[in-house]
């Protein structure tokens, strides 16, 4: 053995020291990659944020993943569909929000859904309808994402109005529902309505409606005491699905009739075409 390879007092570098440095490098890489999803939405603490800011540039794959996660978060944020809010809905919601605060109740609206499910067959049907409606609305919002990029700010406002309307319905004791059957033979068009006169709001979800040209829209009509009033305008996607939020001041089941026709995009003072769906109450 060559005894003068190292001078007295020196130690030959051990293999374990080199392995320790490799493990440390690997540990930092793993930490950076693991923090990418949370970092993309700002869900990291101060120490983790400093680590990402200092080390992210050293790991190209993690930087690429961060770009993808950020794009996905932005897409989900603006994936809501445009809906036409009635003129007085914002004022009604603001009045409701200004009511005196009650003692906090954990997850109040989920509790309401749970109670509906366990209180008999009718309430089970109502709870199932609400859950299915919420699921369909979310699917509807996602499928419309690519068509909504030019109106991002407007979409955020409209989705907020929709969420508030649904929460108002779910928070009330007397939520009601009704169905509008097809008015034409061999038609699959139909619509469901959730409403509450005390809350002053209703949500209509149309399905399997015929697609119409851009210069046309669907208009909801309400007939009460021989007087016809417009409930609002809406359009449908290529699958025939559409959404309308409209105000209600009296119970909808006291109407004489309720129906939807095809009208010019700006609306009509009265129906000008045959009803697509219609329900006769009296």
DSSP 205-262: EEESPPP--TTEEEEEEEEETTEEEEEEEE---TTS-EEEEEE-SS-GGGSSEEEEEE
134 assigned to some structural domain:
yes
Q: What's the confidence (pLDDT) of residue 20?
A: 42
Q: What's the confidence (pLDDT) of residue 95?
A: 73
* 217 within 8 A of 233, measured Cβ to Cβ: yes
Same domain, 62 and 93: no
What total number of domains does the chain contain? 2
Q: What's the confidence (pLDDT) of residue 31?
A: 85
Domain with 202, as residue range(s), is 89-280
Q: What's the confidence (pLDDT) of residue 147?
A: 59
Q: Which two structure tokens, joined as six digits, stand for 241?
A: 């699905």
Q: What's the confidence (pLDDT) of residue 221?
A: 97
* 216 within 8 A of 266, measured Cβ to Cβ: no
**First-to-last CA distance in the chain?**
109
Burial label, 39 (beta-carbon count in 10 A; 0-12, 13-18, 19+) = buried
- The CA-CA-CA angle for residues 156, 78, 162, to 5°, reads 40
Q: What's the confidence (pLDDT) of residue 48?
A: 86
Closest CA to 48 of 59, 38, 63: 38
pLDDT digits (tens, 9 = 90+) for 159-183: 555 655 565 555 555 678 899 999 9
Q: What's the confidence (pLDDT) of residue 260?
A: 97
Closest CA to 40 of 52, 30, 57: 52
Q: What's the confidence (pLDDT) of residue 175?
A: 77
Q: What's the confidence (pLDDT) of residue 55?
A: 86
Same domain, 43 and 98: no
pLDDT digits (tens, 9 = 90+) for 15-53: 444 444 444 445 788 888 888 888 877 888 888 888 888
Burial label, 22 (beta-carbon count in 10 A; 0-12, 13-18, 19+) = exposed
* 161 within 8 A of 89, measured Cβ to Cβ: yes
* 84 within 8 A of 232, measured Cβ to Cβ: yes
- Which of 21, 41, 75 is at the close of a domain? 75
**β-pair partners for 263:** 217
Same domain, 30 and 145: no
Helix/strand/coil percentages in the chain, nearest 5: 45, 20, 35
What is the block-wise mean pLDDT of the chain (282 residues), using blocks of 10 residues? Answer: 45 43 60 85 84 87 84 68 67 70 55 53 57 63 60 56 58 77 95 87 92 96 94 94 90 94 96 95 78
Same domain, 129 and 259: yes
Same domain, 70 and 143: no
Q: What's the confidence (pLDDT) of residue 14?
A: 44
Burial label, 69 (beta-carbon count in 10 A; 0-12, 13-18, 19+) = middle
Same domain, 234 and 268: yes
Same domain, 101 and 69: no
81 assigned to some structural domain:
no
The two beta strands, 216-224 and 227-234, are antiparallel
Q: What's the confidence (pLDDT) of residue 28?
A: 83
135 assigned to some structural domain:
yes
121: Cβ contacts below 8 Å, ≥ 6 apart: none
The reported pTM is 0.45
């Amino acid at each position: 053995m060559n005894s003068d390879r190292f001078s007295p007092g020196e130690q030959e570098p051990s293999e374990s020291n080199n392995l320790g440095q490799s493990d440390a490098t690997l540990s930092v890489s793993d930490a950076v990659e693991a923090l990418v999803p949370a970092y993309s939405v700002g869900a990291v603490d101060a120490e983790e944020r400093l680590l990402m800011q200092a080390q992210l540039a050293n790991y190209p794959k993690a930087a690429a993943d961060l770009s993808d996660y950020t794009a996905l978060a932005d897409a989900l944020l603006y994936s809501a569909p445009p809906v036409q809010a009635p003129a007085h809905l914002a004022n009604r919601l603001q009045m409701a929000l200004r009511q005196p605060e009650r003692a906090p109740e954990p997850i109040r609206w989920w509790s309401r859904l749970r109670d509906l499910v366990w209180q008999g067959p009718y309430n089970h049907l109502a709870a199932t309808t609400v859950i299915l409606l919420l699921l369909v609305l979310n699917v509807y919002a996602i499928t419309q994402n690519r068509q909504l990029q030019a109106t991002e700010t407007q979409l955020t406002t409209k989705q907020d109005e929709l969420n508030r309307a649904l929460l108002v319905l779910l928070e009330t004791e007397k939520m009601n529902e009704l169905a509008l059957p097809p008015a034409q033979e061999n038609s699959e068009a139909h619509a469901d309505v959730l409403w509450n006169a005390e809350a002053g709001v209703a949500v209509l979800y149309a399905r399997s409606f015929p697609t119409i040209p851009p210069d046309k829209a669907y208009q909801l009509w309400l007939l009460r005491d021989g007087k016809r009033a417009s409930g609002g305008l809406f359009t449908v996607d290529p699958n025939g699905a559409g959404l309308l939020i409209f105000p209600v001041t009296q119970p909808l089941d006291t109407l004489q009739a309720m129906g939807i026709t095809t009208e010019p995009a700006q609306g009509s003072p009265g129906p000008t075409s045959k009803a697509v769906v219609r329900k006769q109450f009296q």
